[in-house]
Amino acid sequence: MSGNNTNLLLRSNLKQLRLPTIQAEFEKLAREAAAANEGYEQYLLRLTELEVATRGANALAARIRAAGFPVHKDFDTFDFTAVPSLSKPKVLELARGEWVEQRANCCLIGSPGTGKTHVATALGLAACRQGKKVRFYTAAALVTRLEEAQKQYQLERVLGQLDRADLLICDELGYLSFSRAGAELLFQVFADRYERRSLLVTSNLAFSDWGQVFQGERMTAALLDRLTHRCHIFEMNGESFRFKESMKSKKRKAGE
């Protein structure tokens, strides 16, 4: 059989076996292996390594897409010195992801512009890299989604989807208050996750003010009791980073 024919058959087999990276690379790597006098196993190892690496990268990209992060902010662009109240070692410890495996929760509480969404996203990205399923919603978007699903008799399906996420991020709780029905749906999601799945909540409200969002002392107390049991709580107070940056650039311009 000619080499050409062999390659054609090989290509067809690799396609059937769904090994696109090996299919794309085997000829080039075969030439390199021959030139370097590499053995068969070495060659096969290189090919399979490439396939495994590409698959891993594709799966990660798919997990990040599915998470629905509003922006791609990571720790490399986060300036911890700007938020002295936030412990860098503790946050980086969380970025290792064990808390998600332990089904613990995390709350980031602080005034607007202090980096809550940034840190929540970076923690979510870290979890994606560890192979975990993440879903990011603002509280308002999550409630809307639940209400819509309920209207269309799809609530069970949507709750199931949320349940499959190892980490649910609920950003900006407290900016908007919900209808009683909306608050109850959100409560149901939070309560369902208790000790089974992780939840990360960011809020501009201190816990003592959550009654405004959840309406009713009893529901708020029940929710906080579950959320804050085994919870990493970070207070991010201080000046708004956006505000500080815009003041800095104004000063720079004035100095010109």
| Amino acid identity at 94 | L
Residue 153 three-state SS: coil
118 touches ligand ADP (CB under 6 A): yes
Helices (H), the chain: 3-16, 20-35, 40-67, 88-94, 98-101, 116-129, 139-151, 155-164, 180-193, 211-214, 217-228, 241-255
Which residue's beta carbon is nearest to the bound ligand ADP? 115
The answer to whether the beta carbons of residues 137 and 171 sit under 8 Å apart is yes
139 touches ligand ADP (CB under 6 A): no
Quick note: the x/- pattern for ligand ADP over 40-79, rule CB under 6 A, is ---------------------------------x---xxx
Nearer CB in complex with ligand ADP: 20/238 = 238
Select the span of 92-100, 107-115, 130-138, 224-232 touching ligand ADP (CB under 6 A). 107-115
Q: C-alpha angle 65/70/72, rounded to 5°? A: 70
Q: Binding to ligand ADP (CB under 6 A): which residues in 9-28?
A: none
Place of tokens 């290792």: 96
Q: Binding to Mg ion (CB under 5 A): which residues in 88-147?
A: 117
Q: Applying CB under 5 A, which residues contact Mg ion?
A: 117
Q: Applying CB under 6 A, which residues contact ligand ADP?
A: 73, 77-79, 82-83, 110, 112-118, 241-242
